[in-house]
Amino acid sequence: MKGQNFMTSNRSTKTIKKALKKKPAKPTQAEAEDAVRTLIRWAGDDSDREGLRDTPKRVTKSYLEFFKGYEQEPKEILSRTFKDVEGYDEMIVLRDINFNSYCEHHMVPFSGRAHVAYIPGDKVVGISKLARLVDVYAKRLQIQEKLTAQIASTLNEVLKPRGVAVVVEATHMCMTTRGVQKHGTVMQTSQLHGLFKSDHRTRQEFFSLLKVAHFNTSPR
């Protein structure tokens, strides 16, 4: 009886924890616009003056575009693959994928480019899907470290390649427009899986390709 009570209690605890993790209800359009009006007034302006009267509507509309990544499932983007590649099993690199994202700490933009590489196992994916994968994760509130890890982990999980490498370079407005205000700073992050992590020659080849590409595209 005691064991049964323990199991019942344990299941109840898990149910409660699952309920607590459930996402809160999404605010309505009107509630979102009211929130923008509140921020305008908090900043010290009049949300009812002519120039700001339609700003709440514009902001909420732009947010739908800025954060459309929440409406997309990253794994579905990689669902269509190809196996007829004549035995190709070398590195595939798509570099200089431009992106714009928003810092989850200050909700200001950070932007840059991502370089994505993988060594296929028995399938490859269309190159546009790699760019779309970057965008899906970028169009969310982010930090660069998490963005880098999510891109790499999803590629590794879905394609099951022999290796994955992702490098992200970005400039953060939370560094350039507030706080320390250091212009020209670039943050670099990387995430490696499989052969890119275990084999130094593979890793060196990847980073060498990025270095050559950077040299060839740098302004003279």
The catalytic site residues sit at 103-106, 144, 172, 174
Collapsed DSSP state (helix, strand, coil) of residue 79: coil
Q: CA-to-CA distance for 167 and 117, rounded, in angstroms?
A: 9
Residue identified by tokens 């490098």 is 167
Collapsed DSSP state (helix, strand, coil) of residue 218: coil
Q: What angle do CA 139, 144, 145 make, to 5 degrees?
A: 125
Q: CA-to-CA distance for 164 and 152, rounded, in angstroms?
A: 6
Q: CA-to-CA distance for 51 and 64, rounded, in angstroms?
A: 22
How many Å is the maximal CA-CA distance in the chain?
79
Q: Which of 114, 197, 195, 112 lies closest to 150, judged by CA?
A: 114
